Structure 1
Amino acid sequence: MSRKNVILNCYREKGVCLYEYPMINGLKQYIQVRGADRTAPLMLFIHGGPGGSIAGLCHVMQTEWEKHFTVVNWDQRNTCKTLLANKDKTDEIAETGSISDYTSDIDAVIKYLHTVYEFEKIIIVGFSWGSIIGTEYAKLHPENVSCYIGIGQLINHSEGLKYSCNWIKELAKDVPSDTAKTDELLKRIESGLVFNSDTMKALRSFSMLGSKYISKDSRTFPLKALLCSPFLSFREKLSMLNSDFRNFKGTYKTLMTYDFRHDLHFDVPLLFVSGDEDFVCPNQLLMQCFENIKAPVKKSAVIPKASHTCFFDQPEEFVRTITDYISN
């Protein structure tokens, strides 16, 4: 059996390996279900980005997860496999991206899962951008959710940027050229971020500075693993490497105007997991409002020597954190 088939079908005997394109709200949307034990709790991972699918890297980033959970990866609208399956609608989909668009998609994904898998409730895991629509879905449909886990929980985009710009400025105070770049972004934030190519360029510069000064323990993105991924075709790999931010025009507007703090009432247990070196969605903003969050159970965990992708930087500690929480 080839390496590709071994990875794609590794759990066929006792677990599940499912790869399908069901119709979700009029679009063919890619759904991937994998786990070593088909009786394990079902977990829906809502990726970040926008457009940041990790379905093609599950064998690198989620191997430990699949030992404890049946993990569902879903490529959101205009993302990777879902993007290529609806190429004729790309521009139309780009105009969508409201909270209700995505929570409706999540609801339809869960309804589809009920047709192929037996479960009562599902664990929702929202990462970065995905933590916005994950939390809103958990609030909207607690009857479907056993617990919500926020990884790199996004609180408010502009305030998070301000916090991390000042964090970088303090660390880069002896490098005038770098502090000048953070000052430029701070001016943009104060005047109100506008969704355009200049803003995206400034955000990329901010990301490079954050990696340089804050996320020093983060692991390098596994580019080789992506290029060799058995889950992705050549076109899909190109789609991931050349993701066009214009495909998420409506989604970025939602991201840039969202505020987690507008409603802090949840009817499901909550776990928030962050890396101590996360400058993209700094945990400090979450902690400022944590006491005001109303939930049956709530917990916040910070993983040392980990960045925004704490589950990749410290995989064993991450899995231990979430399994301990769920088992208790």
Structure 2
Amino acid sequence: MGAAQHQLPTTLPPTRLRERPLVRLLDALWRERWLGVSVAAGMAVLTGLLVGTTMPRAPATAGQALVLMLTGFVAGGIAGLAMRSRWAMVLAPVAHVAAFEVARLGTPGITVERIRFDSAYGLLAFILGRGLYGVIGLLPMLLGVAYGVALARRWSSQRQPPSSRLRHSAGRALGALATAGLIALVVLIAWPASTPPVRGTDGRPIAGSIATLERVRLGEHDQWIMIHAASADAPVLLYLSGGPGQSDLMFSRVFFEDLARDFVVVGWDQRGTGKSYAALDPAETLTLDQAVADTVELTNYLRARFDEQKIYLLGESWGSTLGVLAVQWHPELYHAFIGSGQMVSQRETDRRLYHDMLAYAERTGNVEMARTMRRYGEPPYADPLVYAYVMGYYEQLSPYTPPAAYLERGSAAGLVPWGMRGSEYSLIEKANVLRGLMDMFSVMYPQLQEIDFRRDVTRLDVPTYMLMGEHELAARSDLAHEWFAHLEAPHKQEFTFPDAGHSVVFEEFQAFHRIMTDIVVPETYQGG
């Protein structure tokens, strides 16, 4: 009763644990603090250099995201174990990020180049690039540090200051919550993408139909296509999305749902966009000629797969530029070309838009807008975000209400801007929809400045159809009409829609279906 009671240090490990070589080594690190700091910093720098060199846009795929999470967790664990201090939560991420940024210097793209907060688009680029990296790579690193510190204190032969039961319980609860959150994030990242089946008018899946997401090898890079068809025996229609850099998988699935009952409809995430974002690098090989070559290679893949001599080619906006060039290169591969939101000369369109913006600013008394545009001057612009600023005024330059059927179908399908909610994208690919739009645009758009179809494409040796909305920006439509009027082709026809703007093929999806089945196919299809 009278004997003094002494509290035993609960953090003291068993004798056999202290005698292990690893623990003796750690004891040496803990005695010489600078050694522990050096190991922690070295591991963080090493992993930063490794990731920055091998995955400069990490995470660009679900696989890269999982590797990055594991790398961060292990690096953090080693840092926490080596330092035996929560200060590793500062040192490890800072050293890792610094090394990562150095390793990927020179990688082109808005989301990976210099940090900018001078516009909403700059902030968005930061969130999509470095913000995403922070969540996927640095949060696991912080959790790893916490586990490493806890393990170090358990193994340490030095007496640790006692902590209150409440503080200890709170720490354990917080650690468990963070671990559960990390596991949930792993599950969400690994959750595979999918695309709904092709359904008949009764709403039931059509027997023998095709609804797939597939990886194909084009130009020595893995890229993704989506195929929807009620029958593999139908004519093949390849859709080229706009941008450059835009992914339209959900849009094309929703608005071409009826079309897929009569055609094999193929959507393609071009190199550097959406599901194909990881294929952007090396960016110096993503040239205009390579994009056209990829289109031709995909065309030949589809011809062979579906046993067709020719296919139909549909281009929207930038896709119409790509489509015209592909048809010019290899007219023998295509039944016909259909251009929607037809582009003729990006540079001349942008120059006219510049003057339209100044005129709009003067009409509306928008002094700040006029000052901003005059500061930018006439295009082309070295800064891609200037184009984003101009795009923000498209609706004001040509206001209109799209067709009711378009709005109703989009609402029923849960469409959001850029189609990011589509099941066709995994969690990382949803971010890639916007990252691709920014980064692929910044790589490809400067290469389009010398294009002018009025000079370069005066003849196409395939039947050519053009869809034009009356609410299209005059800077685009005037050039398209001028080019189309002088274009030589075996057959050409223009369709104009009073309630449509730029994305005619989606906004007038019902009319487009009728045009294809009632006019284009009877005039051009010669069977497989």
Q: Tell whether the structures are fold-level matches, with TM greater than 0.5.
A: yes
Measure how far apart 1:141 and its partner are: 0.5
1:93-114: per-residue Cα shift (whole Å, max 9, x none)? x223333201211121122223
Q: CA RMSD in A?
A: 2.8
- Of residues 111, 123, 131, the one that matches 2:312 is 123
Q: Distance in 1 between matches of 2:261 and 2:380?
A: 42
Q: Distance in 2 between matches of 1:320 and 1:303?
A: 14
Call closer, same or farther: CA 1:114–1:237 in 2, change over 3 Å: same
Q: Counting strand residues as a fraction of each chain, which structure ranks higher? A: 1
Q: Distance in 2 between matches of 1:146 and 1:174?
A: 46
Matches for 1:61-140 after TM superposition, within 5 Å: 61-84=255-278, 86=279, 90-92=280-282, 94-140=283-329
Match of 1:195 in 2: 382
Q: Distance in 1 between matches of 2:259 and 2:448?
A: 27
Equivalences, count: 315
Matches for 1:172-321 after TM superposition, within 5 Å: 173-177=362-366, 181=369, 185=373, 188=376, 190=378, 192-196=379-383, 200-218=384-402, 222-223=415-416, 226-243=419-436, 245-261=438-454, 262-279=456-473, 282-321=476-515
Call closer, same or farther: CA 1:294–1:34 in 2, change over 3 Å: same
- Which protein has the larger Cα radius of gyration, Structure 1 or Structure 2? 2
- Of residues 221, 226, 238, the one that matches 1:27 is 221
Match of 1:142 in 2: 331
Measure how far apart 1:273 and its partner are: 0.7
Q: Distance in 2 between matches of 1:43 and 1:244?
A: 24
Call closer, same or farther: CA 1:325–1:276 in 2, change over 3 Å: same
Report SS of the residue matched to 1:23.
strand
Q: Distance in 1 between matches of 2:374 and 2:471?
A: 20
Call closer, same or farther: CA 1:287–1:280 in 2, change over 3 Å: closer
List alignment gaps of at least 5 residues for structure 2: 1-192, 200-204, 524-528
Q: Counting helix residues as a fraction of each chain, which structure ranks higher? A: 2
Measure how far apart 1:225 and its partner are: 9.0
Match of 1:322 in 2: 516
Asked if 2 retains the 8 angstrom alpha-carbon contact of 1:96 and 1:250, the reply is no
- Structure 1 segments, 4+ long, off by >6 Å, are none
Q: Distance in 2 between matches of 1:30 and 1:229?
A: 15
Please say which of residues 317-326 and 160-169 is displaced more in the overlay: 160-169
Asked if 2 retains the 8 angstrom alpha-carbon contact of 1:32 and 1:72, the reply is yes
Call closer, same or farther: CA 1:248–1:205 in 2, change over 3 Å: closer
- Is the aligned partner of 1:154 residue 2:343? yes
Q: Distance in 1 between matches of 2:475 and 2:311?
A: 25
Q: Distance in 2 between matches of 1:274 and 1:266?
A: 19
Call closer, same or farther: CA 1:168–1:65 in 2, change over 3 Å: farther
Measure how far apart 1:242 and its partner are: 3.7
Q: Distance in 2 between matches of 1:193 and 1:6?
A: 39
Asked if 1 retains the 8 angstrom alpha-carbon contact of 2:469 and 2:501, the reply is yes
Measure how far apart 1:118 and its partner are: 1.6
Call closer, same or farther: CA 1:233–1:322 in 2, change over 3 Å: same
Which amino acid is 1:318 matched to? F
- TM-score, length of structure 1 as denominator length: 0.85
Asked if 1 retains the 8 angstrom alpha-carbon contact of 2:237 and 2:312, the reply is yes
Call closer, same or farther: CA 1:19–1:110 in 2, change over 3 Å: same
Which amino acid is 2:233 matched to? T
Report percent identity of matched pairs.
23
Q: Which has the higher contact order (CA 8 A, sep 6+)?
A: 1
Measure how far apart 1:150 and its partner are: 0.8
Asked if 1 retains the 8 angstrom alpha-carbon contact of 2:458 and 2:486, the reply is yes
Q: Distance in 2 between matches of 1:129 and 1:145?
A: 19
Report SS of the residue matched to 1:22.
strand
